[in-house]
Amino acid sequence: MQNLRYCILFLSFSLITTKLCGQSKTDAEMIATLHEKAVVESKAYEWLEFLCKKIGNRLSGTPQLMAATYYSKSLMEQLNFDSVWLQPCQVPVWIRGEKEECRIVSSKLGSFELKVLALGNSTGTGQLGVEGEVIIVNSLQELEKMDDSKVKDKIVFFNRPFQESALYTGKAYGSTVDQRVRGPQLAAKKGAVAALVRSVTANRDDEPHTGATNFEDGARQIPCYALGTQSSNLLADLNFKSPVRVYCKSTSKMMGTADGYNVIGQLTGSKYPDEVIIIGGHLDSWDIGEGAHDDGTGCVQSIEVLRLLQSSGYKPQRTIRAILYTNEENGLAGGKAYKAYADVAKEKQMMAIESDSGGHSPQGFFYEAEAGISPEYQQSLKEWKVLLEPYGYQFVPGGSGADVGTLRPLKTFLLGLMPDSQRYFDYHHSSNDTFDKVNRRELELGAAAVASIVFLADKYGLK
């Protein structure tokens, strides 16, 4: 069945390309070559296996992230890219500490253990832990309207579920993640002693999905935790029947800053070396799981894009730069460091593509449609679409990515690889994000998709 599917795909491809002019047909042949080389020659899956299994999770400031940094640099050097270097920055250091504890300690139905993970950048409780009565809210607006006296000394539980009706799960994530990012700070402001946040996932197991939370400098901080889906349902059900008290204990804390590095490799342009096309993912990950889909896949795809173009004999006119960003998860220090470089470099950051939505089957690209950024490039998208449609790729207005998004003020054309999203948030920020969840062929096709659009942008520029 899989072979039949690809036979049909390439038959459709042949029928379309016969209608193109000679120059376009050459482009179509190049894109076909990139895809063939990706699924036949690629070592990206092996690179990812080393990253996940030999190095493991890669939180900022850890020896594992430093090992991944030097492994990636060495890999780029072995591939004989024109230039390879490390771009330094300072990254925040947050440690999880001892395993978290969380349990219901009083209810009419007894006591129950709850499965939690401390949120990134959060403070701990200390050795004694904290205890409080739970109040449940479904939005920040609901909490904002509450009188502070009703929140003081309570544990606030943000229980808004993942938006199951959203067919693209990234949209569901975007409509829910505010309670993790900004909810704990609001709870602290109103006097709560801790915050619990329903994991941002459609998965129905009980693995918590962590992620960063933000507290403003100088603001009161409280312990805060991601709660597994089943634990969230249990807590909500019991609290509906009678008031519930919960005990939490964690020892997480911030530990200053450490040296961090973006890993950068490039093929230097032969005609317009100061016009730059970026492909990027982030090398850091959370300290649970293996950082496979988030974002080991994006990193190895970025390296593979350069290898594909190089091995195809293509000589780029513009500089094509792969950036493995550091500290995307809990600080964005790598993205900010590259933006600071771009501000003073005598270069035009023409286009940037981020791969940070997992390594599933590519379906196309999101492009940022903000006023003044992409309307002038609509003609390029129309022309690329003809060549990429045979592969099932489409262009959809949407977000690009956190790291390349730092280049927005420079009017860089920003895109994000759009893989099939249905399983991504089963793994995202959880212990489920492991190498075995990545399909080799899907990973390779994602790299080919990005290489194709990079080839077209380099050859013709933007219109």
Q: Which of the 8 DSSP states describes residue 177?
A: T
**Same-domain check for residues 79 and 143:** no
Q: How many helices (H) and strands (E) does the chain have?
A: 15, 16
- pLDDT at res. 371: 59
How many angstroms separate the CA atoms of 84 and 224, rounded? 40
Strands 194-198 and 224-227: parallel
> Per-residue pLDDT tens for 45-66?
999 999 999 999 999 999 999 9
Average pLDDT over residues 187-195: 99
**Same-domain check for residues 67 and 165:** no
Token pair, residue 191, equals 């006097």
Of 251, 267, 288, the domain-final residue: 251
Identify the three-state secondary structure at position 398. Answer: coil
Nearest one of 135, 404, 202, 391 to 295, comparing CA atoms = 404
Average pLDDT over residues 72-81: 99
The domain that contains 173 carries what CATH number? 3.50.30.30
Backbone angles phi, psi at 364, to 5 degrees: 145, -145
Of 196, 218, 251, the domain-final residue: 251
Query: Which percentage of the chain shows pLDDT scores above 90?
Result: 90
Helix (H) or strand (E) run with residue 63 in it: helix 63-78
How many angstroms separate the CA atoms of 386 and 382, rounded? 7
- pLDDT at res. 4: 44
Identify the three-state secondary structure at position 52. Answer: helix
What's the structural domain count of the chain? 2
CA distances from 376 to 28, 299, 320, 405 (A): 24, 29, 22, 18
CA angle, 264 as apex, 260 and 265 as ends, to 5°?
155
Nearest one of 4, 108, 124, 35 to 388, comparing CA atoms = 35
**Same-domain check for residues 277 and 359:** yes
Token pair, residue 373, equals 């950024």
Token pair, residue 18, equals 């016969």
How many angstroms separate the CA atoms of 170 and 398, rounded? 10
CA angle, 318 as apex, 316 and 319 as ends, to 5°?
95
> Per-residue pLDDT tens for 329-386?
999 999 999 999 999 999 999 999 999 999 999 999 999 977 566 777 888 999 999 9
Helix (H) or strand (E) run with residue 113 in it: strand 112-113
> Per-residue pLDDT tens for 82-129?
999 999 999 999 999 999 999 999 777 789 999 999 999 999 999 999
Identify the three-state secondary structure at position 10. Answer: helix
> Per-residue pLDDT tens for 215-237?
999 999 999 999 999 999 999 99
**Statement: residue 396 has pLDDT above 60:** yes
- pLDDT at res. 21: 43
Quickly state the pLDDT bin for 2 (edges 50, 70, 90). Answer: very low
Lowest mean pLDDT among 15-24, 201-210, 265-274, 383-392: 15-24
CA angle, 446 as apex, 445 and 447 as ends, to 5°?
90
How many angstroms separate the CA atoms of 177 and 402, rounded? 14
How many angstroms separate the CA atoms of 21 and 244, rounded? 70
Identify the three-state secondary structure at position 326. Answer: coil
- pLDDT at res. 25: 55
**Same-domain check for residues 286 and 416:** yes
**Same-domain check for residues 59 and 110:** no
Continuous H helices in 391-434: 424-427
Strands 155-158 and 194-198: parallel
Give the mean pLDDT of the chain. 94
Predicted TM-score of the model (pTM): 0.94
**Same-domain check for residues 8 and 150:** no
Query: Which percentage of the chain shows pLDDT scores above 70?
Result: 94
- pLDDT at res. 369: 77
> Per-residue pLDDT tens for 134-181?
999 999 999 999 999 999 999 999 999 999 999 999 999 999 999 999
Q: Are 115 and 207 in contact (CB under 8 A)?
A: yes
How many angstroms separate the CA atoms of 280 and 264, rounded? 9
**Same-domain check for residues 289 and 409:** yes
CA angle, 406 as apex, 368 and 44 as ends, to 5°?
80
Rg for the chain (alpha carbons), in Å? Answer: 23
- pLDDT at res. 108: 76
- pLDDT at res. 9: 46
How many angstroms separate the CA atoms of 217 and 62, rounded? 24
**Same-domain check for residues 237 and 318:** no
Of 183, 217, 251, the domain-final residue: 251
How many angstroms separate the CA atoms of 282 and 291, rounded? 10
- pLDDT at res. 24: 54
**Same-domain check for residues 131 and 83:** no
> Per-residue pLDDT tens for 11-27?
444 444 444 444 455 99
- pLDDT at res. 372: 63
> What residues contact residue 412 under an 8 Å CB cut-off, 6+ apart?
278, 349, 350, 351, 352, 373, 404
Quickly state the pLDDT bin for 34 (edges 50, 70, 90). Answer: very high
**Same-domain check for residues 346 and 420:** yes
The domain that contains 18 carries what CATH number? 3.40.630.10
Continuous H helices in 83-242: 140-145, 148-151, 169-174, 178-181, 183-189, 229-241
Q: Are 400 and 414 in contact (CB under 8 A)?
A: yes
Continuous H helices in 154-267: 169-174, 178-181, 183-189, 229-241
Nearest one of 357, 94, 328 to 338, comparing CA atoms = 328
CA distances from 375 to 68, 350, 368, 381 (A): 38, 14, 9, 10
> What pairs with residue 257 in β-bridges?
92
**Same-domain check for residues 289 and 405:** yes
**Same-domain check for residues 340 and 194:** no
Q: Are 335 and 264 in contact (CB under 8 A)?
A: no
Q: Pseudo-torsion of CA 433, 437, 441, 443, nearest 10°? A: 0
What is the domain range of residue 20? 2-93+256-460
